[in-house]
Amino acid sequence: MDVSSVFQILALGGFLAGFAGVALVVAAASQNRPVRGGVVLAVAGILAGIVLLIVSQGLLVVGPTERAVVFNTVTGNLETPRQSGISIVIPGVQVVTIYPVSRQSYTMSGSIQEGDPTRSDAITARSVDGQQVTIDMTVIFRLQDGEGLNQIHRDWSNEPGGYLEGLIRPTIRSIVRDVVAGFEAESIYGIGREQMDAEIEARLTEVFADNGIVVTDSLVNDVSFSDEFINAIEAKQVEEQQLQRARTEAERRRAEAVGLADAEIERARGEAQAILIRAAADAEALRLVSQQIAANPNLIQYTYINELADNVNLALVPSNTPFLFNFDDFTELSDDFVPPEVDQPQLPDEVEVPEVSTESSEAGD
């Protein structure tokens, strides 16, 4: 119970006392008794009731989350909004309208449990590629204090539904539709939704600020599309997943082919290196044999005899053979015989093998 209610109760008590005084006057007059006491009670009670009633109407109590817009009917101007607390107004001259300055939320949803219980209020828009997009949205806001309240009262006090139906609802619908019209539906369905949300909030903040309203937050609760669009998106995602799997499998096979080609190249390189090493060793051996033959011409005959069996002392050969020599020339060497010096065999430390390109094998994949 506020102070004005207390004064109204007191005023009611004064009027009741005045009516009681009138009743006493009537009773005393019917009995030919003095009526002065009743008259005094009646006058005092009625006057007290009137005064208390005027006082109760002139006391303005403003709550902590409220502000009072005061319209002066004499000057036709809006006064500075009254802050929270008790203040005095002149009944009949100063008309008071109370506005909340705490945070408010306005929800537009297709579900009556979330938005307006009397209607489906979801926002239907068209994307830049012509797809239908349905959006459920909540805007959290508060009214500007001071001159902003006077502006709201001046612009929307006579509008049915006030600033909520006259400003908040149509502005949200218009801005959401404009923003959605700049995006493709597939982008809204995917990573473009955050950008869309941010652009909607920026536009709402700018427009409402010019109309005395501060936007605290805007929330896109739900975005829905037509069944045909959703089916098309899901089919596209399945196709992309299959394509990605095919690419992965192709990469795996290509890697395997490159690995096998590299292994084959290394094997061929090893074989080539071994062949080159053997060839180099054979060439070195032949060089050494040539040096020995040049130093000792009888080396061929000696080698021939050395290859004979140990029990062979006489060999019969054709008359035209060149291998007719005296065995004693090779078994009974003089004391001063010195074999010729021959260089130690040198094998190459490293044999270069030509590089083999794998571009052809990769191109074949």
CA distance linking residue 101 with residue 113, whole number of Å:
25
**231 lies in a domain?**
no
CA distance linking residue 360 with residue 365, whole number of Å:
9
The verdict on 55 and 17 lying in the same domain is yes
CA distance linking residue 2 with residue 19, whole number of Å:
26
The verdict on 112 and 34 lying in the same domain is no
**126 lies in a domain?**
yes
8 Å CB contact between 112 and 100: no
The verdict on 221 and 241 lying in the same domain is no
Full DSSP string of 316-359: ---TT-S----THHHHS--TT--PPP-PPP---S---------H
Out of 196, 225, 254, pick the residue that ends a domain: 225
The verdict on 220 and 241 lying in the same domain is no
CA distance linking residue 345 with residue 289, whole number of Å:
11
The verdict on 162 and 274 lying in the same domain is no
**279 lies in a domain?**
yes
pLDDT tens digit at each of 365 positions of the chain: 566 677 667 777 777 877 777 777 777 777 777 767 777 777 777 787 777 677 667 777 888 899 999 999 888 899 889 988 888 888 888 888 999 999 999 998 887 777 666 677 889 999 888 888 999 999 999 999 888 899 999 999 888 889 999 999 999 999 999 999 999 888 888 888 889 999 999 999 999 999 999 999 999 988 888 878 777 766 776 677 778 877 888 888 888 888 888 888 888 888 888 888 888 887 777 777 777 767 666 666 667 666 766 666 666 666 666 554 555 555 555 555 555 555 555 555 554 545 545 444 444 44
**71 lies in a domain?**
no
CA distance linking residue 168 with residue 123, whole number of Å:
13
Number of domains in the chain: 3
Out of 163, 194, 225, pick the residue that ends a domain: 225
Element (H, E) at 297: none
Domain extent for 13 = 3-66+78-97
- 3-class SS letters over 43-58: HHHHHHHHHHHHHHHH
Positive/negative CA dihedral, 245, 251, 256, 257: positive
The verdict on 247 and 134 lying in the same domain is no
